C-alpha cells in the first residue's frame, strides 16, 4: 500500500482550512495518492453548517505526526500456537533463522515468547520424570515428535502420570520400576509389552517400526492402554520424547515488555535502553501480534508524509512536524518559519482563500470537482473573503466562487447569508470556545503575539460575553507568556471590527492603527481581515 499522506490545515481550523484540506485530499486521490484529510482542532459552527449542507464528513482529528512504531519496518514473524511441541518450535526457528518465536492463542492474541535459550535450558534440565504429565503434553505432540503411528488409543484415553520407562529388563522384573499410568518405551518384545499393559502402563511406544502382536493389542483395548509404533530406535525415541512437551510450558509470560503499534519512538527508546532484550513484541489495541522490534529497526523509520494547507508557520501547524516529511504547502498567507529538508512544491498566491488555489489546481489538471467538493470550496471562499468584502478578496476569488457555485447548484447570496448566520451566533458558547474558534499565534521579532478572529451579524451579543472573554484572555496571556493577545470581532454587516486586547505590549495596537485605546477594547471601522489589515500593521509596529 502507498504511504499515507496527511493533509491538514492549521490549529483552531476555520472553514477555509477544513474545506481546503478535504478538497485537496480528494484531488490527490484522483491523481493516485493515498491522501487523508485531517484536522488539528474542533470545527466551528460555520464549518459544521457547510459540511452538513453538502453532506461531507468531518475529517478525523490528528494530534501529532511524531514517528510511531507503525512507521518502522518491523520484523513480521508468523506466530505459533501454544500447543506445538518444543521440537516443532525449534525447527521453525532454525528454518526461519530466528531466535525468538512469539506464541498466540486461537484468536491471534499474544500470549508469550519462546527463545532458543528457553528450549535448550529446558531440554538440558530434564530431571523431572513426570514432565509429560506436568506440561499436559497432547498425545499428538508425542506422535508427531517420534514420527509414530497409533496402533490403538486416542487423546481421551491419554491419562499418563508422565513418568517414562525404558523396558530393558526381563518381563518378570518390570513390576519393581513400573507404576500406574507411566509411558513405556520398548522394542519388539511382546512379553514385555504384554506385562507393561498388565502392570498399568497408560502408553507403550514400540520402537524400530515393529508390528504389534494381536494379543498385546487386545490387552491394550481391554485396559485402554495407548499403543504407538515409531521407526526410531529406542535410544533416539527416549532422547526425543521430552521434546514433545508444548511450548506454553516453557514460554516466558511474566514481565514481558511489549509495545503498541501506536507508541511513539520517543516513549519506547528509554525502555529499550534499560532492558536491552534482543526483541520486543509489537501488538495492536486488541493485543494481536503485529511483529517484533529491536533497536536496529530505528534505522529504518519512515517519516510521516504531510501536506500543509492554509498555513506555513510552525506555531500554527501540527505537533511533531519536525519529525515528518513535508511534501507540499498550499497557502495564501505570508511566508512563515517552517523549514524543510529538501525542495518541495510550495504554492503561495495573494488571493483571499486557500480554497481558490485548490479549486484552480483542480481545473489546471482538467478535473472538475464533484458537486459536494465544489460546494465546500465555494463556501470556504465566501467565508475567508466575507463574500468578497474583505480587502484580501481578489477577482480570482470571485470568478472561482461563481464557477464553483454553478457546479454545486447554489445561489451565492442565499448560501452566504445562511452560512454567516449559522456561524456568527455567539449564544451558548464559552469564552474559551469563542476565543479559540479561529486563533493563530505569531512570533514577530522578540514578541509572542496571538490573534483570534470571529465574524458576527449580531454585535450586541458580544457585550454579554465581553467581561468573561477579557478574563479568559488574561489567563491565557499569563499562562502562555504572550506579549499581546487580540480578539478581532468582525461585524459582517457594518464591515468593521472591535478589537479586544490584553497584554503588557498593547501599545503596539496604538502604533499600528493610530488609535486611542480604551481599557480593553477599541472599534476600528473598515478592519475585516486579520491577514491583510492586522498582522502586517502589527509587524510594522514591532519593527
CATH label of the domain that carries residue 58: 3.90.1640.10
- Better pLDDT: 178 or 17: 17
Statement: residue 316 has pLDDT above 60: yes
Q: Do 192 and 337 have their domain in common?
A: no
Minimum mean pLDDT range among 65-69, 110-114, 128-132, 361-365? 128-132
Q: Three cell numbers at 231?
A: 521407526
Say if CB 492 and CB 383 are below 8 A apart.
Answer: no
> β-pairing, 305-309 with 325-331?
parallel
Full domain range(s) for residue 259: 70-84+95-121+249-300
pLDDT confidence tier of residue 23, bands split at 50, 70 and 90: very high
Q: Is residue 130 assigned to a domain? A: no
Statement: residue 375 has pLDDT above 80: yes
Residue 194, pLDDT score: 87
Q: Do 408 and 456 have their domain in common?
A: no
Statement: residue 126 has pLDDT above 60: no
140 closest CA partner among 151, 130, 149: 149
Boundary of a domain, candidates 424, 449, 469: 424
Q: Do 328 and 285 have their domain in common?
A: no
Instruction: List, for residues 387-399, the tens digit of each pLDDT value.
Output: 998 889 999 999 9
CA–CA separation, 48 and 114 (whole Å): 53
Q: Is residue 89 assigned to a domain? A: no
Statement: residue 517 has pLDDT above 70: yes
- Residue 227's SS3 state is strand
CATH number where 214 lies: 3.40.1390.20
Say if CB 14 and CB 379 are below 8 A apart.
Answer: no
Q: Is residue 409 assigned to a domain? A: yes
Residue 128, pLDDT score: 63
Q: Is residue 173 assigned to a domain? A: yes
Q: Do 311 and 420 have their domain in common?
A: yes
CA–CA separation, 451 and 438 (whole Å): 9
Boundary of a domain, candidates 424, 451, 470: 424
Say if CB 192 and CB 174 are below 8 A apart.
Answer: yes
CA–CA separation, 378 and 294 (whole Å): 50
CATH number where 80 lies: 3.10.580.10
Instruction: List, for residues 164-193, the tens digit of each pLDDT value.
Output: 888 877 767 777 778 889 999 998 888 888
Tell me the mean pLDDT in the region 330-357. 93
Number of domains in the chain: 4
Q: How far does the chain reach from its first CA to its final CA, in angstroms?
A: 50
Q: Is the pTM above the cut of 0.75?
A: no
Q: What is the DSSP secondary-structure string of 326-349?
A: EEEEEE-S---S---SS--EEEE-
Instruction: List, for residues 56-80, the tens digit of each pLDDT value.
Output: 999 999 999 988 888 888 888 889 9
Statement: residue 1 has pLDDT above 60: no
Instruction: List, for residues 432-446, the tens digit of each pLDDT value.
Output: 988 988 888 998 889
Q: Do 517 and 445 have their domain in common?
A: yes
**Mean pLDDT taken over the chain:** 89
Q: Do 117 and 143 have their domain in common?
A: no
Residue 76, pLDDT score: 84
pLDDT confidence tier of residue 462, bands split at 50, 70 and 90: confident
Residue 170, pLDDT score: 75
Would you give the DSSP letter of residue 520?
S
Q: Do 338 and 408 have their domain in common?
A: yes
Statement: residue 127 has pLDDT above 60: no
Phi, psi of 426 (to 5 degrees): -100, -5
Q: Do 308 and 296 have their domain in common?
A: no
Q: Three cell numbers at 51?
A: 459540511
Element (H, E) at 144: helix 139-145
Tell me the mean pLDDT in the region 192-214. 89
Look-up: residue for cell 518390570? Answer: 174
CA–CA separation, 21 and 2 (whole Å): 19
Say if CB 315 and CB 322 are below 8 A apart.
Answer: no
Say if CB 289 and CB 311 are below 8 A apart.
Answer: no
CA–CA separation, 523 and 499 (whole Å): 6
Instruction: List, for residues 265-299, the tens digit of each pLDDT value.
Output: 888 888 888 887 888 899 999 999 898 888 877 77
CA–CA separation, 298 and 296 (whole Å): 5
499 closest CA partner among 438, 531, 463, 453: 453
Residue 466, pLDDT score: 86
Boundary of a domain, candidates 282, 300, 318: 300
Q: Do 348 and 493 have their domain in common?
A: no
pLDDT confidence tier of residue 125, bands split at 50, 70 and 90: low
Residue 171, pLDDT score: 67
Residue 184: strand pairing partners: 165, 204
Residue 119, pLDDT score: 82
Look-up: residue for cell 488555489? Answer: 357
Q: Is residue 127 assigned to a domain? A: no
Amino acid at each position: 500500500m502507498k504511504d499515507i499522506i496527511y493533509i491538514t490545515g492549521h490549529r483552531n481550523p476555520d472553514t477555509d482550512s477544513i474545506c481546503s484540506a478535504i478538497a485537496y485530499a480528494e484531488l490527490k486521490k484522483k491523481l493516485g495518492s493515498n491522501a487523508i484529510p485531517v484536522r488539528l482542532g474542533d470545527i466551528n459552527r460555520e464549518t459544521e453548517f457547510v459540511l452538513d449542507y453538502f453532506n461531507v464528513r468531518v475529517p478525523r482529528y490528528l494530534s501529532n505526526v511524531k514517528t510511531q512504531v507503525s512507521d518502522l519496518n518491523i520484523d513480521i514473524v508468523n506466530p505459533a500456537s501454544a500447543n506445538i511441541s518444543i521440537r516443532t518450535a525449534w525447527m521453525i526457528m532454525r528454518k526461519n533463522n530466528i531466535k525468538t518465536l512469539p506464541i498466540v492463542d486461537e484468536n491471534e492474541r499474544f500470549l508469550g515468547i519462546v527463545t532458543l535459550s528457553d528450549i535448550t535450558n529446558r531440554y538440558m534440565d530434564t530431571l523431572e520424570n513426570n514432565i509429560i504429565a506436568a506440561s499436559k503434553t497432547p498425545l499428538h505432540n508425542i506422535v508427531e515428535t517420534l514420527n509414530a503411528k497409533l496402533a490403538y488409543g486416542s487423546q481421551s484415553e491419554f491419562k499418563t502420570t508422565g513418568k517414562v520407562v525404558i523396558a530393558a529388563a526381563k518381563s518378570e522384573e518390570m513390576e519393581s520400576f513400573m507404576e500406574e499410568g507411566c509411558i513405556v518405551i520398548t522394542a519388539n518384545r511382546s512379553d514385555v509389552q504384554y506385562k507393561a499393559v498388565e502392570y498399568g502402563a497408560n502408553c507403550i511406544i514400540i520402537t524400530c517400526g515393529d508390528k504389534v502382536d494381536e494379543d498385546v493389542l487386545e490387552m491394550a483395548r481391554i485396559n485402554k492402554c495407548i499403543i504407538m509404533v515409531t521407526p526410531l530406535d529406542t535410544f533416539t525415541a527416549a532422547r526425543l520424547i521430552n521434546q514433545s512437551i508444548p511450548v506454553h510450558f516453557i514460554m516466558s509470560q511474566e514481565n514481558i515488555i511489549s509495545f503498541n503499534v501506536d507508541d511513539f519512538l520517543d516513549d519506547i527508546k528509554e525502555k529499550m535502553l534499560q532492558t536491552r532484550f534482543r526483541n520486543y513484541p509489537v501488538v495492536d489495541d486488541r493485543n494481536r501480534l503485529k511483529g517484533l522490534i529491536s533497536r536496529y529497526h530505528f534505522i529504518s523509520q519512515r517519516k510521516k508524509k504531510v501536506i500543509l494547507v492554509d498555513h506555513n508557520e510552525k506555531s500554527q501547524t501540527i505537533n511533531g512536524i519536525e519529525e515528518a516529511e513535508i511534501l507540499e504547502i498550499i497557502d495564501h498567507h505570508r511566508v512563515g518559519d517552517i523549514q524543510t529538508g529538501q525542495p518541495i512544491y510550495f504554492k503561495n498566491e495573494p488571493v483571499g482563500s486557500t480554497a481558490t488555489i485548490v479549486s484552480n489546481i483542480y481545473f489546471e489538471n482538467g478535473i472538475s470537482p464533484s458537486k459536494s467538493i465544489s460546494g465546500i470550496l465555494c463556501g470556504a471562499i465566501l467565508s475567508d473573503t466575507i463574500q468578497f468584502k474583505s480587502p484580501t478578496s481578489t477577482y480570482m476569488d470571485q470568478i472561482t466562487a461563481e464557477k464553483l457555485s454553478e457546479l454545486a447548484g447554489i445561489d451565492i447570496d442565499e448560501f452566504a447569508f445562511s452560512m454567516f448566520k449559522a456561524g456568527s451566533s455567539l449564544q451558548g458558547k464559552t469564552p474559551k470556545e469563542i476565543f479559540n474558534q479561529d486563533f493563530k499565534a505569531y512570533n514577530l521579532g522578540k514578541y509572542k503575539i496571538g490573534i483570534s478572529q470571529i465574524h458576527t451579524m449580531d454585535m450586541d451579543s458580544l457585550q454579554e460575553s465581553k467581561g468573561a472573554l477579557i478574563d479568559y484572555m488574561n489567563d491565557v496571556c499569563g499562562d502562555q507568556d504572550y506579549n499581546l493577545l487580540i480578539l478581532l470581532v468582525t461585524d459582517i454587516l457594518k464591515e468593521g471590527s472591535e478589537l479586544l486586547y490584553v497584554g503588557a505590549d498593547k501599545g503596539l495596537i496604538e502604533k499600528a492603527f493610530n488609535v486611542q485605546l480604551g481599557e480593553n477594547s477599541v472599534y476600528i471601522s473598515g478592519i475585516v481581515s486579520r491577514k491583510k489589515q492586522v498582522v502586517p500593521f502589527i509587524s510594522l509596529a514591532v519593527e
